[in-house]
Amino acid sequence: MYPAFKHTHALLAVISILLFQYRYWAFAVKVRTPGKLFKITPHIIDTLLLVTGITVAYIVGFTLGNSPWLTTKIVALFFYVGFGVLAMRGRGQMRWIGYILATLTFAYIVAVAVTKNPTFFL
């Protein structure tokens, strides 16, 4: 059961970042109005991503106390969401800065998840 949830979580993470990239370039940069599909789907994917992440943590027995990398990943998730909102709703340079920071934060989250070390870069 664990491998299925872990792989589903990883797949949903890939879909989530691909949708973010597509939405940014297609709608934020080109200033087109997204269809209903692109307004609803990211919320569904991100909710499933969160549910599978919580499920994997529960199955393995990770808690915020015994897994500092998990705590870091959750804090970084809040930054990712904030930067993503800035990328989609900001104006001018703030939109671009939000996009760059959201993408870098996502990469950091993935690196922390893979290495299980919040300071993997040191």
Q: Which residues of the chain have pLDDT under 70?
A: none
The reported pLDDT for the residue numbered 34 is 75
- Tell me what pLDDT residue 121 has: 85
pLDDT the model gives residue 29: 74
pLDDT of residue 27: 79
pLDDT recorded at residue 30: 76
Decide: 45 and 15 in contact? Cβ < 8 Å. Answer: yes
Degrees to nearest 5, angle at CA 47 with 46 and 53 = 85
Do residues 118 and 112 touch, judged by C-beta distance below 8 A? yes
State residue 107's pLDDT score: 96
Spatial CA neighbour of 45 closest among 62, 68, 22: 22
